[in-house]
Structure 1
Amino acid sequence: MAGEKNRIITIANQKGGVGKTTTAINLATALAAIGERVLIVDLDPQGNASTGLGIDRRNRELSSFDLLIGSHGVAETVLPTAVPNLSIIPSTMDLLGIEMEIAQQSDRVFRLKRALSSDEALSYSYVLVDCPPSFNLLTMNALAAAHSVLVPLQCEFFALEGLSQLLETVDQVRRSVNPRLDIQGIVLTMFDSRNNLAQQVVNDVRTHLGEKVYHTLIPRNVRVSEAPSYGKPAILYDLKCAGSQAYLQLASEVIQRERQRKAA
């Protein structure tokens, strides 16, 4: 998009346990590792992206809640992480009350978009928004603010069913509040090569969605699962594990797609 100063990618899937937060943390870390300046906005009241990047709950004096109600901006709510070039606007349980705070406001779905138009937000080359596992006002804000949606999809039986619902939602958002919104890509997560069903899901998703599906498959990986309990992205916890290597590959695919999009 001409004149675009940063790229806002919302990571969304209304289904829980598909690897949204893991993807947000590790994709952001991989982008930061290759020199991009990256911001994560944690919009999930559970705050797992914040915890997974080592942000202690006691240090979250300001959060994405303050950003959305408009009492503080990006510059005041952002915190550095242990990863060079990667910052985060953390989440707190206050987000559970966001509907009560802003539901009556006419601009309620555009709060995040407005906040991310600030000079501080525009100084990041990538902004990744981690959503809750539901479709609510928080997810709506994330989709209204985004240039594109990245969808983590678990390699399991009902994957395509949930995906069709999400794609329908994206279409509705595009028609109603954000005409620029597109699908950045579908990333297949928790892939187990020993499982015939997982391979069948991969084949089905690729058949239905073609080039929208990233080539990189994120494997089931113990080291990736362990990393958040140490407050670290998998890429810092164990760079050589299969999961970390997969997220580095995914980051290079994301960059490649961005180059192609800008050249088009």
Structure 2
Amino acid sequence: MCKVIAIANQKGGVGKTTTSVNLGIGLARQGNKVLLIDADPQGSLTASLGYIEPDDIGVTLATIMMNVINEEEFEVTDGILHHQENVDLLPSNIELSGLEVSMANVISREVIMKEYIEEIKKQYDYILIDCMPSLGMITINALVSADSVLVPVQAAYLPVKGLQQLIKTITMVRKRLNRNLKVEGILLTMVDFRTNFAKDISAQVRKEYGANINIFDCSIPVSVKAAETSAEGRSIFAYCPKGKVSIAYEELSKEVQAHEN
């Protein structure tokens, strides 16, 4: 059975794309067949996997969703790109932003992405959806499509404060659109445990949310190398295989699989 995980947080710069890339490739390294879906019109996930000009790509998530809206026939594998580290990618570009605006009058607009994923999921063990930093219609589509939500949160005051709004949105989607939606867990990212501030923020997250939401045991340490991987078009496993960040993402992929079981 395929598991669909939306990686979401309306706050930008908290590590959603980095987590999508490295968790996806971490799962693939454990023998799973993985599809990464870029659901952000900025195309950050697409660029992070080496496709540095997303706007030049012909078939993207926007193309697929428009085909679903217009009830046009298409091959379910159209637009899927194959990355050298054994993951597949459905890319995105700025066209997705225009699609979100045009969906205002579409009937059942919240389930367009789900219709596609229900078909393609037969071919994968995991599908990870990298959401844009907003709670707009594309993100709602991702939450409706998902079995669970993984929430990366930077160990800082404002990102942690923004968790409340995201959790309210997840609760609304669960109540009205996807009763099976669960929170996979909260992942603390860019953590500098040398500082008391980071330690205090981590403790605060565990105190406020730990009773009801899984807080991943592993945390992603702050690292220049983690940021550099995006420019290299590969994962932290290929760029710095023995570093603290690669070890953390390997632990995360194991936690995700254990959580499923």
The TM-score range, normalised by the shorter chain, is over 0.9
Paired residue for 2:137?
Answer: 137
The whole-number CA distance in structure 1 between the counterparts of 2:23 and 2:166 is 21
The whole-number CA distance in structure 2 between the counterparts of 1:49 and 1:90 is 8
The whole-number CA distance in structure 2 between the counterparts of 1:244 and 1:250 is 10
In terms of mean alpha carbon deviation, does 75-84 or 33-42 score higher? 75-84
2:250 aligned with 1:248:
yes
The whole-number CA distance in structure 2 between the counterparts of 1:53 and 1:189 is 20
Aligned-pair Cα RMSD in Å: 1.3
The whole-number CA distance in structure 2 between the counterparts of 1:56 and 1:15 is 23
Paired residue for 1:223?
Answer: 225
Q: Return the TM-score normalized by structure 2.
A: 0.93
Q: Structure 1's 189 and 73: CA in aligned 2 closer, same or farther, altered over 3 A?
A: farther
Pick from 17, 25, 49 the counterpart of residue 21 of structure 1: 17
Q: What percent identity do the matched residue pairs reach? A: 36
Paired residue for 1:150?
Answer: 150
TM-superposed deviation, 1:100: 3.2
TM-superposed deviation, 1:175: 0.9
Paired residue for 1:197?
Answer: 197
The whole-number CA distance in structure 1 between the counterparts of 2:225 and 2:254 is 21
The secondary structure found in structure 1 opposite 2:179 is: coil
Q: What letter matches 2:187 in structure 1?
A: V
2:80 aligned with 1:78:
yes
The whole-number CA distance in structure 2 between the counterparts of 1:74 and 1:57 is 23
Paired residue for 1:63?
Answer: 60
The whole-number CA distance in structure 2 between the counterparts of 1:230 and 1:121 is 29
Contact 1:43 1:64 in 2 (8 A): yes
Unaligned ranges ≥5, structure 2: none
- Structure 1, residues 32-51: CA drift from partner, whole Å, max 9, x if none? 00100000010101111111
The whole-number CA distance in structure 2 between the counterparts of 1:123 and 1:198 is 40
Paired residue for 1:12?
Answer: 8
- Structure 1, residues 102-161: CA drift from partner, whole Å, max 9, x if none? 22111211011000111x332100000001101101101000100000000000012332
Q: What letter matches 2:10 in structure 1?
A: Q
Q: What letter matches 1:233 in structure 2?
A: S
In terms of mean alpha carbon deviation, does 90-99 or 23-32 score higher? 90-99
Contact 1:112 1:141 in 2 (8 A): yes
Contact 2:154 2:160 in 1 (8 A): no
Q: What letter matches 1:89 in structure 2?
A: L
- Structure 1, residues 213-251: CA drift from partner, whole Å, max 9, x if none? 000010001111111111111111111111111100110
How many pairs does the alignment contain? 253
Paired residue for 1:262?
Answer: none
Unaligned ranges ≥5, structure 1: 260-264
Contact 1:191 1:198 in 2 (8 A): yes
In terms of mean alpha carbon deviation, does 155-164 or 142-151 score higher? 155-164
2:107 aligned with 1:111:
no
In terms of mean alpha carbon deviation, does 51-60 or 201-210 score higher? 51-60
In terms of mean alpha carbon deviation, does 196-205 or 100-109 score higher? 100-109
Q: Structure 1's 20 and 230: CA in aligned 2 closer, same or farther, altered over 3 A?
A: same
TM-superposed deviation, 1:73: 5.0
Q: Return the TM-score normalized by structure 1.
A: 0.92
The whole-number CA distance in structure 2 between the counterparts of 1:68 and 1:200 is 43
In terms of mean alpha carbon deviation, does 50-59 or 23-32 score higher? 50-59
Paired residue for 1:46?
Answer: 42
